[in-house]
Amino acid sequence: MVRQLRLEEVTSALEASLSVSDLELIAQGGQKYVFGCNLEGAPAVAKVVLLPLGPDSVYVLERAQREVEVLAAIDSPRVVRVLSEVVELDFAEGIRAATWVEDRLDGQDMRDDLEKPWNYDRAARLIVQLGEALSAFHDLEVVHRDLSPANVRELSDGSFVLMDPGLARHLAKSALTGVFQPGTAVHRSPEHIPGGDVQPVSDIFALGILAYRALTGVLPIDPSGSEDDYYRRLRDYDSRPIEASCSDIPAPLRDVINRCLKRQPARRYLDGLELIEELEKHGEIFGPYFMDA
Amino acid sequence: MAVLIQDGRRSGHLKWTREAIQRRCADGAVISAFCTPRIPRPRQRDAGAVVEALGTAEVLFDPMTHARLLSGTNKLEDYDTWSLWGNSGVGLDTTARRLEHVERVFSRQSELGLPRLAPTLALASARSSDADHAVETARVARGLDRHCYQSLVGTVEFFASGTDLDAHVGRLAGLRASTWVLTLVPASSPNLIADLATSTVALTGWLRTIHSLSVRSRVIVQNADFLGLLASAAGADTVGSGWDRSMKVFDASSYQLATPAPRRPASYVTQRGLVAILRRSIADDIQRLDAARAQELRGGPMPSDDAHQRVHHLRVIRDLVSDIYRMRGQEESVSVLRAIYHNALDNYAWLDSQVPGLVSASERDAWVNYPLLTLEQYAKAEGIW
């Protein structure tokens, strides 16, 4: 059995390897720690992922490296900024971890704010700004693959930032399909069904789910029953139109959400860039929320 | 909106093609690697001469890789003049083969001054290694020329595969090709056109695919003929047609040496008002019955011979495609085609009242009832019925 790491062991290793200070534990779950810290006088977070023993450690380390590589390549205020490379930490008794530093974002992630339906302006802001974030990913031919409430943060200035592309995939550097499909349950696209091919258009579907859920408090595809049942609904049925729950929704917002949620991928916006092109046509609804507005 | 004449092997093919284009019954032609050689052969014009002869008309060179890779294809005397494969061999199943082949195809097209049309495989399943190889081939093509035309070829099983088909089309749409060239491969049958017309599930999937791709791209449907009317209603702007069966429908046997002894083709007359091509003896019977009504049904004077029938047929197809496609929205296009089919059913009913059994119920079904059912299924699913 692997022994439990003491917090002080982790913080001293971080201080030594990443030159961070003032470490405080913000979150801990599974094999991951998130620390608030100070990097060269600026607030930051240090993320630590414990590597499992055995061959899976290679996969976990690669995933951490991919997350950092993706973030380092993206220069967008809509995507969290990475401030270091991945560093491997070696603890006593063979325990290993991967760590890196990101910008510390204020505000809260969407998980804490889905109880009450959002107003239309806020949902429009979400779509524009995550659309801009996805454009930055897709422009590099990278798919986020896990656009879910935990990975979207609303800052205190009202802007949205996309985080945690730990499951992101570079289209040109990876195999076409696989049995394992990543993503957060109920926030997956039809292409996430095992055997499918997750593409930029799949991130668009996930954005549609987020917007739909924010406005209605429910999911566009009924998640009840077994995973197989859910997959069948995801694959075979169109989502309920947003206007069925929001009768007074402005037409451009309605049309954008419904198109994001089209079951057939070719009927959606193919990627963030195409989505943004569409949003730009409807300045009266989406115009105020663009980066250059 | 256009009609392209598919390639053929008959000795007058180029002359007839030129005449049809000059008479504005067609807008261009497709050169097939199986029908036109790269270098002149006895009694055959080479592709360069064909392109020159067709002047400013739209011309595509289709490498027909999907036909070359079908099991049973062995009629290669013209095909082999194109030297479309590299050292790594024939197939699209490895990176090296894909790259070598696409480079050679593009090179031949550039030599002819024609648009670059990417090769592909004929897919029987949207979830298969072949489907992955087709996507990879398309990506290689896009990597070499992001403005190239792309191909999608599938069997009736492929186009009937529902959500798997839609997922595959989603992968293809991401390539953002300016033009998609689609070919529907019917199941092997002695009566390809009629049997294909009854494949309503596959045809509905084919229309759904055309609809999806036409949102961002121009869509050309090859070897479609009267089924091209459905394609036009779903968003295709160009339909492939011609005078022989292998031009009107994709015919795998036309790429095989072991074909029956040549037979004299029967004589047919296209009937615009019946959306059908019927035997000349039936056309004669209708003419005797009511000459004025017969002319109305044909959509023109009785073609005096096969040469006139070729022109008449292409003109009917082009006019109908034009009537359907020029509508601004797909709902209107569907409505126009629906009216064409309903009018045809009225005409069949009139014929049947005059001479019961002159046109068989199975022919009426193949030409109108099944296509109308396909249109209805497609349009209802799209919410435009």
Determine the pLDDT at residue A177. 37
Question: What token pair was written down for A42?
Answer: 């600026």
pLDDT digits over B313-345, tens only? 999 999 999 999 887 788 999 999 999 999 999
Q: Name the closest residue on chain A to residue B208, using Cα atoms.
A: A264
Which residues are CB-contacts of A261 (< 8 A; sequence separation ≥ 6)?
A205, A208, A209, A212, A220, A238, A239, A242, A268
B212 and A266 in contact by Cβ < 8 A? yes
Taking Cα atoms as reference points, which of B243, B258, B194 lies closest to residue B9?
A: B243
CA–CA min distance B181, chain A (Å):
16
State residue A265's pLDDT score.
97
| Calpha distance B262→B338 (Å, rounded) | 39
Instruction: Specify whether B245 is located in the same domain as B273.
Output: no
The number of C-beta contacts closer than 8 angstroms across A and B is 50
The verdict on B79 and B135 lying in the same domain is yes
Q: Which of B222, B255, B288 is the last residue of a domain?
A: B255
Cβ–Cβ of B174/A270 closer than 8 Å? yes
- Look-up of token digits 């001054």: B113
Put simply, the answer to whether A266 touches B166 (Cβ < 8 Å) is yes
Rg from Cα positions in chain B: 20
Per-residue CA distances from A30 to A50, A123, B273 (Å): 9, 31, 71
B166 plus B234 within the same structural domain: yes
Determine the distance in angstroms separating the CA of A206 from the nearest CA of chain B, rounded to an integer: 15
Is B260 part of a structural domain of the chain? no
Domain CATH for B145: 3.20.20
Domain match, B249 and B289 both = no
- Per DSSP, B199 falls in state -
Residue B180 in contact with residue B206, Cβ under 8 Å? no
In which domain, by residue range, is B330 found?
268-382
A203 inside 8 A of chain B by CB: no
B163 interfacial to chain A (CB closer than 8 Å): yes
Lowest mean pLDDT among A91-95, A175-179, B7-11: A175-179
Contact B172 A266 (CB under 8 A): yes
Q: In this predicted model, which residue has the larger pLDDT, B94 or A61? A: B94
Residues of A in contact with B169 (CB under 8 A): 264-266
pLDDT at B156: 97
Q: How many CA atoms lie within 13 A of B303 on its CB side?
A: 27
Does A1 contact chain B (CB < 8 Å)? no
End-to-end CA distance of chain B: 23
Closest residue, chain B, to A265 (C-alpha):
B170
Kindly determine whether residue A191 and residue B163, on different chains, have CB atoms separated by under 8 Å.
no
Between CA A73 and CA A65 the distance in angstroms is 12
Q: How would residue A185 be classed by pLDDT, with cut points 50, 70 and 90?
A: confident
Residue B212: pLDDT over 50: yes
Report helix, strand or coil for A108: strand
DSSP assignment string, B241-286: E-SSHHHHS--GGGG-S--PPP-PPPPEEEEGGGTEEEEHHHHHHH
Residue B166 touches chain A, beta carbons under 8 Å: yes
Chain A CB contacts of B138 under 8 Å are: none
pLDDT of residue A69: 86
The burial of B116, by beta-carbon neighbours within 10 Å (0-12 exposed, 13-18 middle, 19 or more buried), is given as buried
Closest residue of chain B to A200, computed from CA coordinates? B174
Is the Cβ of A232 closer than 8 Å to some Cβ of chain B? no
253-272 of A, contacting B, C-beta below 8 A: 263-267, 270-271
Instruction: Please name which of B15, B18, B29 lies closest in space to residue B241, comparing C-alpha atoms.
Output: B29
- Please check whether residues B218 and B289 belong to one and the same domain: no
Contact of B102 with B118, CB cutoff 8 Å: yes
B107-152 confidence digits (pLDDT tens): 999 999 999 999 999 999 999 999 999 999 999 999 999 999 999 9
- Residue A42, helix vs strand vs coil: strand
The answer on pLDDT for A141 being more than 50 is yes
Q: What is the pLDDT of residues B60-112, one digit of tens each?
A: 999 999 999 999 999 999 999 999 999 999 999 999 999 999 999 999 999 99
Give yes or no: residues B242 and B339 share one domain.
no
State the pLDDT confidence band at A59, using cuts at 50, 70 and 90.
confident
- Is there a single domain that holds both residue B74 and residue B124? yes
Q: So what's the pLDDT on residue A178?
A: 40
Q: Are B332 and B367 in a shared domain?
A: yes
pLDDT at A194 (0 to 100): 87
CA distances from B217 to B49, B87, B109, B370 (A): 30, 34, 21, 28
| Tokens matching residue B328 | 């601004």
Using pLDDT thresholds of 50, 70 and 90, give the confidence band for residue A172.
Answer: low
Q: How, if at all, do strands B2-5 and B28-32 pair?
A: parallel
Task: Find chain A residues with C-beta within 8 A of B135's C-beta.
Answer: 176
pLDDT of amino acid B351: 97
Neighbours of B128 (CB within 10 A): 15
Cβ atoms < 10 Å from Cβ of A186: 16
Residues of chain A with CATH 3.30.200.20: 7-103
How does pLDDT run across B153-205, given as a tens digit for each residue? 999 999 999 999 999 999 999 999 999 999 999 998 888 988 999 999 999 99
Residue B158 CA to residue B283 CA, distance in Å, equals 37
Q: Is B366 within 8 Å of B265 (Cβ atoms)?
A: no
Contact B176 A200 (CB under 8 A): no
Q: Is the pLDDT of residue A61 over 90?
A: no
* Chain A CB within 8 Å of residue B171 CB: yes
Same domain, yes or no: B60 and B188 = yes
Whole-number pLDDT of residue A130: 98
Q: Per-residue b/e over B349-360, b at no fewer than 16 CB within 10 Å?
A: eebeeeeeebbe
Nearest residue on chain B to A176, alpha-carbon basis: B132
Range in A49-53, B122-126, B360-364 the model is least confident about: A49-53
Last residue within a domain, chosen from B224, B255, B286: B255
Q: What is residue A55's predicted lDDT score, i.e. its pLDDT?
A: 81
Domain membership flag for residue B343: yes
B173 closest CB neighbour out of A190, A263, A265: A265
> For testing the chain B interface, which of A197, A204, A221, A274 should be mutated: the one with the most B CBs within 10 Å?
A197
Burial readout A118-149 (b: 16 or more C-beta within 10 A, e: otherwise):
bebebbbbbbbbbbbbbbbbbeeebbbbbbbb
Q: Residue A266 is nearest to which of B127, B163, B170, comparing CB atoms?
A: B170
Task: Report the top-level CATH class of A7-103.
Answer: alpha beta
From B210, which residue of chain A is nearest by alpha-carbon distance? A266
Within 10 Å of residue B190's Cβ, how many Cβ atoms? 7
In this prediction, residue A1 carries a pLDDT of 53
Asked if residue B225 and residue B293 are part of one domain, the reply reads no
Is residue B157 included in any domain, yes or no?
yes
Judged by a CB distance cut-off of 8 A, whether residue B93 touches chain A is no
Q: How many domains does chain B have?
A: 2
Residue of A141, A173, A176, A203 best to disrupt the B interface, most CBs of B under 10 A: A176
B215 interfacial to chain A (CB closer than 8 Å) = yes
Task: List Cα–Cα distances, B141 to A270, B103, B118, B149, B197, in angstroms.
Answer: 19, 8, 6, 9, 32
Query: Of the given ranges (A53-57, A87-91, B277-281), which has the lowest mean pLDDT?
Result: A53-57
Pairing assessment for the beta strands A142-143 and B179-185 based on DSSP bridges: unpaired
Q: At what angle are helices B280-289 and B291-298 packed, to 10 degrees?
A: 140
Inform me whether the pLDDT recorded for A2 exceeds 70. no
| Contacts with B171 from chain A: Cβ below 8 Å | 197, 199, 265
> B310 and B231, same structural domain?
no
CATH 1.10.510.10 domain position(s) in chain A:
108-289
- In whole angstroms, give the CA distance from residue A136 to residue A162: 11
**Considering only CA atoms, which of A194, A198, A211 is closest in space to residue A127?**
A211
**Do B157 and B124 touch, CB atoms closer than 8 A?**
yes
Matching CATH number, A108-289, of 3.30.950.10, 3.40.50.150, 1.10.510.10, 3.30.530.20: 1.10.510.10
Mutation for testing the A interface, residue in B146, B166, B378 having most A CBs under 10 Å = B166
CB-based contact, B173 to chain A, within 8 Å: yes
Q: What is the pLDDT of residue B261?
A: 58
Q: Answer whether residue B128 is part of any domain.
A: yes
Answer whether B167 sits within 8 Å of A265, measured CB to CB. yes
User: 3-state DSSP call for residue A292?
Assistant: coil
pLDDT recorded at residue B329: 85
Helix axes B13-22, B306-325, angle to 10 degrees: 50
Q: Label each residue of B52-68 as H, E or C.
A: HHCCCCEEEEECCHHHH
Write out pLDDT tens, residues B279-303. Answer: 999 999 999 999 999 999 999 999 9
B116 and B237 fall within a common domain: yes
Task: Kindly give, in sequence order, each residue whose CB lies less than 8 Å from that of residue B80, ignoring residues fewer than 6 positions away.
Answer: none
Domain boundary among B225, B255, B285: B255
- A197/B171 Cβ within 8 A: yes
